[in-house]
Structure 1
Amino acid sequence: MSGNYQQEDDYDHINNTLIYSSTNIPGPGCNKIDFDSCPNHKCTCTDLCKISTCNCIGDTYNYDTLHRIISPNRFINECNEYCACITCQNRVVQLGPRIGLRITACKKGYGLYTDISIQKGQFICEYAGEIIDLSEAQKRTQLDSDNYIFVLNEHFFNHMKTTVIDNTYIGNIGRYINHSCQPNCVVVPVRVNSFIPRLAIFAIIDIGVGEEITYHYGVGNNSSTESSLSKTKCLCSSTNCKGYLPSKTGLF
């Protein structure tokens, strides 16, 4: 793995009233069986994992040899703690976030910026927090509309799986990433040692030194119709800014 990543998450909150957690923890309503259960795949690769021999990768590599995501639009399983391999190109998110990230005050409140250049496809960090269910998310939203709840809906062949992560009180630096109508990153569900995915943030374009890390808060990055917008003004200043942030209406 290149020197642009750190094995441990050494970042912290700038607000000491928040509880820092480098990855997801179970909260109210979390399915503990799914949380504690490792995906039933493992490989016996002893060196580099290859498509022909690795049970984790499938029929297409998840990452290239420089650990850049090849396609964010696919189901990604990384090699896990039960795999025989130790280092391979199918271990990225589990190795921790990038170095050189910086939380900085801006017109939006706070934002996450990078002090080193980032290539398209490279991993930034997780959006980590409490794993809760939709019922708990609805309660928290009614108590505090200004929250950091992320609802992920994954569509499979015959069902939909919903994962809810609340980064409001417990979480990591992912909570400081702001919305943009023209983002430079995307959120990708990645499974490592649990059936519950980790929300991994990858660059979708090259990002220069000093630039802000952003992703689109809307579903599928396409929430741009009038009915999908909230009453909160968007401050992204992109050329195609919709004027307002995506709405959370209908998520719960």
Structure 2
Amino acid sequence: MSLPFKYTPDHVAGPGGDTDPTLITFPGCVCVKTPCLPGTCSCLRREKNYDDNLCLRHIGLEAKCAEPVFECNVLCQCSDHCRNRVVQRGLQFRLQVFKTDRKGWGLRTLDFIPKGRFVCEYAGEVLGFSEVQRRIQLQTIHDSNYIIAVREHVYNGQVMETFVDPTSIGNIGRFLNHSCEPNLLMIPVRINSMVPKLALFAAKDILPEEELSYDYSGRFLNLLDSEDKERLDNGKLRKPCYCGAESCAAFLPYDSSLYCPLEKPNTSEEGRV
């Protein structure tokens, strides 16, 4: 299969982004003679991020309110085998891009993946908000939209925004399809800087040959207030959802803030059309 995009394993700087995702801005820990543990390691603020099986400790819906995840970075003095280095090690399971019946390309696993294990990143160009709107407004109803908006609530009611587009430059995560009952959960993980890795972890045990999916809406946006649930405010039709889940919402999630030229995004966790 010829790739319709340029492959990158990590985020790259795109137009309008405030921070270059390749810059190293975090100091490293000084854990040389002792393992990285909460209370002594500067990268572990309150508790361990991963258990002894390298599974994310706070996987599930409760992760929405969990403490931020910071991994040890390239400046840390701990070893490469430190248990607080998981996402940065990259793919650990065999994944396969395949053609689905109704959803175009999809991604599945060839291995059993235990609940809580890291699966892959969603990597691409890190953009500014105005560039996101420009790109979306150029799309037609026939174009796929890969742009994801992740918003994290921080102190004093502030919201930290990250916009990633793997349309032209991205990794294997761009082939993940939406599901209203997903088997993956997206967690922002920071390693070298405040630009988060959009890490996807297994929300449950996943069997070999099972398609991998996550909820594009972050579980919050897949509802409409409008009586006409098929038609958007800008006149475009919503795209149907073919996930096949019992709780399927019938249409793919929609983040209206990305279509409004003068509006800033709302405070949902993450959203992708």
Do these two structures clear the TM 0.5 threshold for a shared fold by scoring above it? yes
In the aligned structure 2, how far is the partner of 1:47 from the partner of 1:20? 38
**Paired residues for 1:56-205 under 5 Å:** 56-71=43-58, 72=63, 73-86=66-79, 87-107=81-101, 108-145=103-140, 146-158=144-156, 159-205=158-204
**Is 1:31 aligned to residue 18 of structure 2?**
yes
Cα drift, residue 106 of structure 1: 0.2
Cα drift, residue 31 of structure 1: 2.0
In the aligned structure 2, how far is the partner of 1:227 from the partner of 1:118? 37
Long gaps (5+) in structure 1: 1-13
RMSD: 1.8
Partner of 1:222: 220
**Is 1:232 aligned to residue 227 of structure 2?**
no
Cα drift, residue 47 of structure 1: 4.8
The question of whether the paired residues in 1 share the 8 Å contact of 2:108 and 2:211 is answered with yes
Partner of 1:249: 256
In the aligned structure 2, how far is the partner of 1:116 from the partner of 1:34? 31
Cα deviation digits, residues 91-146 of structure 1 (max 9, x gap): 00000023310000002101110010000000000000001101000000011253
**Is 1:42 aligned to residue 29 of structure 2?**
yes
Deviates more, 1:140-149 or 1:235-244: 140-149
The question of whether the paired residues in 2 share the 8 Å contact of 1:45 and 1:53 is answered with no
In the aligned structure 1, how far is the partner of 2:124 from the partner of 2:132? 13
TM-score (norm 1): 0.89
In structure 2, what residue type is equivalent to 1:150?
I
Long gaps (5+) in structure 2: 233-237, 259-264, 266-273
TM-score (norm 2): 0.82
The question of whether the paired residues in 1 share the 8 Å contact of 2:29 and 2:78 is answered with no
Which structure is higher in strand share?
A: 1
In the aligned structure 1, how far is the partner of 2:211 from the partner of 2:221? 21
Partner of 1:55: 42
Cα drift, residue 249 of structure 1: 1.1
Q: 1:234 to 1:34 in 2, by over 3 A?
A: closer
Partner of 1:16: 3
Q: 1:227 to 1:217 in 2, by over 3 A?
A: farther
Count of aligned pairs: 238
